[in-house]
Amino acid sequence: MLWKAALTRRISRMIFKCRLSLTSPARTTPTTTRNSFGKGNGKRTTSGAASAVRADNAYLLAVFFVFFLLVMIVAQVMVMRNELSASVPGEWLKRLPQEQSRDAWVNQLWFCFQGRSVCPWQPVAGREKCFVYSAYLDDTASNNPGTGTVRVIGVAKTKKPDRLWCQLGWATNGTANWTAVPAQIKTIREHWNLRYSAVFILCPLSSKNWPASHPRSHPEFVSISTSEHPAMPDHDLPIRATSTVSEFNATYGHWAHSPTGNLLPIIRYSDDPEIWSNPKHQLSVCVKPLHYSFNRVDQLIEFIEIHRLLGVSHFTFYNHTVGENCDCVLRRYIDQGLVEVLPWSQLDVISQKEIRTEGIFASLNDCLYRHMFDSQYLLMIDLDELIVPRTKFTLTELIASTLLANNTVAGGIHSSANSHNGYQIGAYYFRNAFFYLSWPDDVGIQSAWSATTSSRHLDLISLRKTRRNFKLHPHRIRSKYICRPRAVVEVGNHFVWEFRAGYAAAHVPDSLALMHHYRTCEFGGDTCLANPSIQDRSAWKYGDALVNAVRHRFEQFAQHCPALLPVTANQQPLRTSMATIATTIANVTTTTSTLSPFSS
Lowest-pLDDT choice from 114-128, 254-268, 435-449:
254-268
How far from the centroid of its chain's Cα atoms is residue 163's Cα?
A: 22
Question: For the segment 131-177, what is each residue's pLDDT rounded down to a tens digit?
Answer: 999 999 987 655 555 678 999 999 999 998 889 999 998 877 767 78
Taking residue 420's Cβ as centre, other Cβ atoms within 10 Å add up to 18
Cβ neighbours for 537, distance < 8 A, ≥ 6 positions apart: 442, 444, 466
Identify which has the larger pLDDT, 216 or 306: 306
Cβ neighbours for 253, distance < 8 A, ≥ 6 positions apart: none
**Distance of alpha carbon 453 from alpha carbon 586, whole angstroms:** 10
**Distance of alpha carbon 389 from alpha carbon 558, whole angstroms:** 32
Helix, strand, or coil (residue 413): strand
Identify which has the larger pLDDT, 479 or 586: 479
* Residue 304 · residue 383 · CB < 8 Å: no
φ, ψ dihedrals at 294, nearest 5°: -50, 125
Instruction: Read off the amino acid at residue 48.
Output: G
Burial class (CB in 10 A: 0-12, 13-18, 19+), 387: buried
List, as one string, the DSSP characters of 84-149: HHT--HHHHHHHS-TTS-HHHHHHHHHHHHTTSS----EE--SSS--EEEEEEEE-TT---TTEEE
User: Has residue 492 got a pLDDT over 90?
Assistant: yes
Cα 512 to Cα 161, 430, 493, 508, distances in angstroms:
45, 9, 22, 7
Cis omega before residue 566 (within 30°)? Answer: no
- Provide mean pLDDT across the span 15-28: 51
Cα 258 to Cα 11, 98, 178, 226, distances in angstroms:
40, 22, 14, 12
Helix, strand, or coil (residue 326): helix
CA-based torsion, 295, 296, 299, 301: positive or negative: positive
* Residue 505 · residue 487 · CB < 8 Å: no
**Distance of alpha carbon 133 from alpha carbon 119, whole angstroms:** 7
φ, ψ dihedrals at 332, nearest 5°: -65, -40
Report the DSSP beta bridge partners of residue 428.
482, 506
Report the DSSP beta bridge partners of residue 418.
none
Report the DSSP beta bridge partners of residue 267.
136
**Distance of alpha carbon 506 from alpha carbon 430, whole angstroms:** 9
Please report, rounded to a whole number, the percentage of residues in the chain having pLDDT higher than 90: 46
**Distance of alpha carbon 542 from alpha carbon 329, whole angstroms:** 22
Q: What value does the mean pLDDT of the chain take? A: 78
Query: pTM of the prediction?
Result: 0.75
Taking residue 561's Cβ as centre, other Cβ atoms within 10 Å add up to 21
Q: Please, which pLDDT band fits residue 98 given cuts at 50, 70 and 90?
A: very low
Question: For the segment 358-373, what is each residue's pLDDT rounded down to a tens digit?
Answer: 999 999 999 999 999 9
**Distance of alpha carbon 554 from alpha carbon 301, whole angstroms:** 9
**Range with the largest mean pLDDT of 200-214, 454-468, 505-519:** 505-519
Cα 452 to Cα 116, 262, 303, 366, 447, distances in angstroms:
40, 52, 20, 41, 9
Write down the pLDDT at residue 67. Answer: 81
Q: Of 261, 187, 196, nearest to 223 (Cα)?
A: 261
Write down the pLDDT at residue 17. Answer: 58
Put residue 478 in one of left, alpha, beta given phi > 0 → left and psi -120 to 50 → alpha: left
User: Has residue 96 got a pLDDT over 60?
Assistant: no
Cα 262 to Cα 219, 252, 504, 527, 581, distances in angstroms:
16, 10, 37, 50, 40
Q: Which helix (H) or strand (E) is 152 found in, with range?
A: strand 147-157
**Distance of alpha carbon 599 from alpha carbon 517, whole angstroms:** 10
φ, ψ dihedrals at 250, nearest 5°: -65, -40
Q: Please, which pLDDT band fits residue 102 given cuts at 50, 70 and 90?
A: low
Question: For the segment 307-344, what is each residue's pLDDT rounded down to a tens digit?
Answer: 999 999 999 999 999 999 999 999 999 999 999 999 99
